[in-house]
Amino acid sequence: MILFKFLYINLFLSAITPAKVDLASGFFKTNRLIQLKQEEPGIWMNKTQILQLIKNRQHYLDITGIDVDMKSIIDRAVAPSGYTVPNSLSQKNMTIEACNNLDMKKAESFLNQLTSLHSRFFLTETGLQASTMLKSHLASIIKPYRGAAEIEQVDHIWGQPSFIVRLKGSKKPNHIAIMGAHYDSINQDDPFNGRSPGADDNGTGVITIAEILRSLVQMQYKPKRTIEFHFYAAEEWGLLGSLSIAFRYALENRQVISMLNIDMNGYKPDKIDNISIVSDYTNQDLTNLLKLCFKEYSKYSTVDDECGYACSDHASWDLAGFPSAHPSEKEWARGYHTDKDVVSDVDFDFLHQFARASVGLLFEVVEA
């Protein structure tokens, strides 16, 4: 049972276009309400205190400005009528076709573009440039698609937007399967000025789901249920972007059947030969299906791991009452949250295995 109160104002109602603020100066006009544990209330912290959390690699939620009981929001989460997460694999032929379309050279090319920016931190000018670069890339991917597709830009008061690429379902369009990744980055020692190429965290997640999208477009795949590819802003600051969208979906009674979060899936030292499947703040049925997909489509074994409260964007969807799952690399990149998180440390074959299993899960939940 969730014991704390989650306050809600237009900050997170991103269906309404909010007034912009002046990046960092506007964002820190007041202290921020920070939550470190699910069972505890938020703590008001200033900029310096929050930066120390980041330096200490302490996960947290930024729940500033919310005034509605969180349980009342969660109670709105709608389980799609008659839908059950599959417990076996029935879409193997379609999955193999999509996997054959995955092109790691294209993925690597876009990762080089993303990491060429000084930083993608959400309160920097280059963080805004990253959003322009990403939106242009997504538009180029869906341009050849002959089905119903759109890019929704979700504007936030901190400037850096999130993006949703939507392929509308042909039979049950109100059922939504989400694949998400955050595109911001951070230098834990100097978020506002330090270089943070963010190749692994989370350029790898971005290029993985973008390449999966490109594969589906190449197939001219028309999904039974709606598929959404989410690219979140400001994950590195308390999951702000995904919290905004997840709780908006709960308030609007959206029928989310699954959320697969891809974050940090490209670092594999030689001693590591398995993939981490997060077992806390995730949905057990969806996680079991994910394991089946890795067993079928990946050459690596999986191991259950806990990553703690608010460790990545799947937690936002779990808190909002929707089923989520999260695979990740077993060992964090050696350049994590520094200027050394670079493309040369990314293992693209390892990343390819994540993409294959993720495609499998997507087809299973969408076509069930």
The structure's pTM equals 0.93
Q: Which tokens is 344 given? A: 């040369």
Q: Which residues of the chain have pLDDT under 50?
A: 1-21, 67
Q: Which tokens is 208 given? A: 């993985």
What is the rounded CA–CA span in Å between residue 112 and residue 117? 9
What is the rounded CA–CA span in Å between residue 334 and residue 356? 25
Count the alpha carbons within 13 Å of 330 in the hemisphere toward its beta carbon. Answer: 14
User: Over the range 269-292, which residues count as b (16 or more CB within 10 Å of their CB) and which as e?
Assistant: eeeeeebbbbeebbbeebbebbbb
pLDDT value of residue 18: 36
The string of pLDDT tens digits covering residues 47-91 is 999 999 999 999 999 988 764 555 566 666 667 778 999 999 999
Q: Which tokens is 243 given? A: 């919290």
pLDDT value of residue 70: 59
The string of pLDDT tens digits covering residues 91-126 is 999 999 999 999 999 999 999 999 999 999 999 999
State residue 264 phi and psi, 5-degree precision: 65, 80
Please report the domains of the chain, with CATH numbers, ordered by start residue: 78-367 (3.40.630.10)
Q: What is the mean pLDDT of the chain?
A: 91
